[in-house]
Structure 1
Amino acid sequence: MSLQSFENLLSKTLGANKKIIHSDITNLVAAGENFGGELLKLTITVENQITKETEVLHAVAKKIPEMELFQKIFNIQETFKSEIIFYEKLVPIFRQFQEQHKIKNVLNCFAELYGSRLNLNGSDIVDRDAVIILEDLIVSGYKNLDRYIGYDMEEAKLALKELAVLHSVPLGIKMKKPDLFQKDIRPHLEEKFKPQQGILDTLMFISEILFESDKCAAAVTKVQKVWKLFTNNPDSYKPREPFATLSHSDLWVNNIMIKHDKGKPIHIKFVDFQVYNYKSPVIDLLNFLFTSVRNEVLKENIDDLIRFYHKELIENLKQLECNTEDYRFSEFQKELQEDAYKVLCWALNFIPFIIFGPKGKVGASPHGDFDINSNKIRDEMRKATPYIAKEKMQFIVEYCESKKWI
């Protein structure tokens, strides 16, 4: 593992009179578990040049994907810069706004930034020397849950509580300080991805899985209709007022880290702020619920979890002294009606290919190299898809139909 000339990036974090005397760099996660870049673990020994005392700094270095294909897929010239902007510019604005409203526990649902750069030559081009250095959350006791299992009820509520804070602060700034929002926040929230053709290509495979459920079969035609609408509409994620706010837009189990104490979940951190943008909070809410919460929890509690999130959002807005009249649950239900089908389409593709994709293989599909248009291959893929994945897909379709969201 190598990381060129990173010492100067840590100067502010280390402080005066401290020098790096040793560093170890290793892979942070197994191959195939991080899809948008390379993650390195940094163990850095620092010496105080006056007292000669040493200390160890634990950090994570995030680099762009090594393969050019993935660099293009993840649009790294935009997304890597956006992540730096999030930590360097937006987070301080959010925290200052909270402090002005006497919020004691300001936003703390992400890792602290230690340093960043786009390259070594001072240009505006992101290259293989680009890096973002963040605190190592694993050393602080945080971990990713197994994506094959997901979040239980208590863990899910904790994640939604933090998500409500993340959404409410920029929403509050938009309401209370619109000039600040339009000048320093909104320009950084542009859409970075559009629906991909590949999503449309997998529709037949998804439909065949849905047809396996008698309860779900009648809804397949509706799914196919909204799927085509989602992939063919360039304005699929066009924001609407008044709910539009900063959206993480890739909120699933691998982009959330959780800390437990004696088996009880106590805190949440969100990671991978590459594709955040300006959307309805419903996008993050449903994306998390549909992809990352255990099936048995969803079946029994999805309505309660949605109401819990909304209650937390309103309480946070009130703490920021915002008028919440336009954000009543009846209005939030309209947001759900508008955007749920978009999340459903995304999740139906995401669940079998990413959530339940193979572990430990870079860029692998769950079924190896395949021709999605081959009846024989699709049949083999369908049979190989785990029951738990099919169950999740079928339930969220049934649920969306029951709510008349599709």
Structure 2
Amino acid sequence: MSETITIKNFSSLLSLPPLKKLKEYKIARLTAPGENYGSLMLSVDVTLDTSGGNENIHLVAKMVPPNVAIQEIFNTSVTFRNEIEFYRKIVPTLENFQLQFGSEVVDFYPKYFGSRLNLTGSEHVDSDAILLLENLKIANYVGVDRSAGLDMPITRLILRNLAALHAVPIGLKLHKPEVFNTEVRPYLSPWLPKKEMHDKYRAAIVEMVAQIPEISHLEKRILEGFDRELLPEIPREPFATIAHNDCWVSNSLVKFDKQEAVDCKLVDYQVCGYGSPARDVLFFLFSSVKIEVLERWFEDLLKWYYENFISLLKGVKCDVQKFGFEEFEKELDFEARNSQFGHVAFMLFVVFTDKSKVKDISEFSVDNIIAGAGSEEHKRKFAFVVKEFAKRNWI
């Protein structure tokens, strides 16, 4: 299939200095079926002709999914533009803000190389829209097996990056609200699952609960909690910030040194919204981390995230009195009750679906995911999540 893939007017996407010229480029599929759902991902290996000889650049091209159903699920006409602006505007704005305080600039995203919405120059997102980013795999960042779950060291790395994603925009909002409102806020859109998709997963959950005796008595609470994912997102100050809204194991790439996780990057910012940091923390932990890690270290991981969050706020000279740990716990409680149980329950179908049964993105459907899920590991993780949320009175 890779030989049929083309990118129209590719040379116009790259902004090159006068002494560098595009010599050639090669395109291939980056991800296999079942690894990515919200967009078409390509690898682009570029060779530049320079005064000193050839120079190679390795890129990822993110494109609109060739599937109308997926475009509707992800509201691609809005979210694709928002992700472009995340890299084009939001990242430089946050970096410049940190530099003003002599603070270490956070670096948890791939480098941006160019983008477009279409070939006509309008504001409409169409099939020629594209986002060019650094190919992190060339720098030895790799994905982790999503069904295995994350261990403690990787979890801490990702929580540290989430703390940066949340804290730095809050600092900008507090110090320079006019900049935040013009360079950040316009590209944070609310996103809710489609009712039809929600109903399909709901029916699958009813079927799953019936197969797990230890949680069958909680069916009513489970379904009520799942249905609350359809409630509109409610930003609450002062914690409201950039919420990734899709931070799970497959949206992180990890770098290892002698089998030790030393760094990670977060990707896929297409559904970023303006909301509570607690949304991301809860969703990430319960969707992506090993049960054994959560059983032993859940409270410690919350405190680890919070300590990094506060440290970053202090790094940009913010008054942190309004951001006490008790207030953060209230955020966790609110989001766990009102948004994240349904979010996690839905994502577990994706985490545990049999990738060998998932069709190509052009043929993808929600039914594929549901049909490929339901393994014993899926049931075990779902039962764990249900019992944890019930124990804390979140459902």
Could you say which TM-score interval applies, normalised by the shorter chain?
A: over 0.9
Q: Distance in 2 between matches of 1:313 and 1:304?
A: 14
After TM superposition, give the deviation of residue 163 of structure 1 in Å: 0.8
Q: Distance in 2 between matches of 1:221 and 1:56?
A: 57
Taking structure 1 as reference, are residues 401 and 25 closer, same or farther at Cα in structure 2, changes over 3 Å only?
Answer: same
Q: Which residue of 1 aligns with 2:34?
A: 32
Q: Distance in 1 between matches of 2:201 and 2:46?
A: 45
After TM superposition, give the deviation of residue 385 of structure 1 in Å: 1.5
Taking structure 1 as reference, are residues 209 and 89 closer, same or farther at Cα in structure 2, changes over 3 Å only?
Answer: same
Name which of 255, 272, 290 aligns with 1:259. 255
Q: Deviations over 1:99-139 (max 9, x none)?
A: 011113x1211111101011112122112211111111000
Taking structure 1 as reference, are residues 332 and 26 closer, same or farther at Cα in structure 2, changes over 3 Å only?
Answer: same
After TM superposition, give the deviation of residue 215 of structure 1 in Å: 4.4
After TM superposition, give the deviation of residue 211 of structure 1 in Å: 4.7
Q: Which residue of 1 aligns with 2:276?
A: 280
Q: Indicate yes or no: 2:2 matched with 1:6.
A: no
Taking structure 1 as reference, are residues 312 and 195 closer, same or farther at Cα in structure 2, changes over 3 Å only?
Answer: farther
Q: Which residue of 1 aligns with 2:222?
A: 223
Which residues of 2 match residues 177-216 of structure 1 at below 5 A?
A: 177-194=176-193, 196-216=195-215
Q: Which residue of 1 aligns with 2:348?
A: 351
After TM superposition, give the deviation of residue 364 of structure 1 in Å: 4.9
Q: Deviations over 1:272-302 (max 9, x none)?
A: 1111010100111111111111222122222
Q: Distance in 2 between matches of 1:365 and 1:38?
A: 15
Name which of 303, 306, 313 aligns with 2:302. 306
* Structure 1 unmatched runs, 5+: 371-380
Secondary structure of the 1:25 match is strand
Which residues of 2 match residues 327-366 of structure 1 at below 5 A?
A: 327-341=323-337, 342-352=339-349, 354-360=350-356, 361-362=359-360, 364=364
Q: Distance in 2 between matches of 1:276 and 1:81?
A: 11
Q: Quick check: 1:200–1:228 contact (8 Å CA) kept in 2?
A: no
After TM superposition, give the deviation of residue 31 of structure 1 in Å: 2.0
Which residues of 2 match residues 125-274 of structure 1 at below 5 A?
A: 125-194=124-193, 196-231=195-230, 233=231, 235=232, 237-274=233-270
Q: Distance in 2 between matches of 1:188 and 1:267?
A: 27
Q: Which residue of 2 aligns with 1:113?
A: 112
Q: Which residue of 2 aligns with 1:396?
A: 385
* Structure 2 unmatched runs, 5+: none
The aligned amino acid for 1:351 is: L
The aligned amino acid for 1:394 is: A
Q: Which residue of 1 aligns with 2:96?
A: 96
Q: Quick check: 1:358–1:366 contact (8 Å CA) kept in 2?
A: no
Q: Distance in 1 between matches of 2:366 and 2:9?
A: 38
Secondary structure of the 2:14 match is helix
Q: Which residue of 1 aligns with 2:70?
A: 70
Secondary structure of the 1:202 match is helix
Q: Distance in 2 between matches of 1:358 and 1:98?
A: 43
After TM superposition, give the deviation of residue 269 of structure 1 in Å: 0.8
Q: Quick check: 1:299–1:395 contact (8 Å CA) kept in 2?
A: no
Q: Deviations over 1:170-194 (max 9, x none)?
A: 0111122222222332222121435
The aligned amino acid for 1:297 is: V
The aligned amino acid for 1:210 is: V
Percent of counterpart pairs with the same letter?
Answer: 35
Secondary structure of the 1:138 match is helix
Q: Distance in 2 between matches of 1:147 and 1:229?
A: 26
Secondary structure of the 1:10 match is coil
Q: Distance in 2 between matches of 1:217 and 1:287?
A: 23
The aligned amino acid for 2:293 is: V
The aligned amino acid for 2:347 is: F
After TM superposition, give the deviation of residue 358 of structure 1 in Å: 2.5
Q: Distance in 2 between matches of 1:122 and 1:368?
A: 36
Q: Deviations over 1:48-69 (max 9, x none)?
A: 1x34x11111111111011222
Taking structure 1 as reference, are residues 368 and 172 closer, same or farther at Cα in structure 2, changes over 3 Å only?
Answer: closer
After TM superposition, give the deviation of residue 253 of structure 1 in Å: 1.3
Q: Quick check: 2:73–2:193 contact (8 Å CA) kept in 1?
A: no
The alignment yields a C-alpha RMSD, in angstroms, of 2.0
TM-score relative to the length of structure 2: 0.92
Q: Quick check: 1:113–1:133 contact (8 Å CA) kept in 2?
A: yes
Deviates more, 1:307-316 or 1:68-77: 68-77
After TM superposition, give the deviation of residue 195 of structure 1 in Å: 5.2
Taking structure 1 as reference, are residues 368 and 42 closer, same or farther at Cα in structure 2, changes over 3 Å only?
Answer: closer
After TM superposition, give the deviation of residue 369 of structure 1 in Å: 9.3
Secondary structure of the 1:16 match is coil
| Count of paired positions | 386
Q: Deviations over 1:64-103 (max 9, x none)?
A: 0112222222221101110111111111110011101111
Taking structure 1 as reference, are residues 297 and 310 closer, same or farther at Cα in structure 2, changes over 3 Å only?
Answer: same
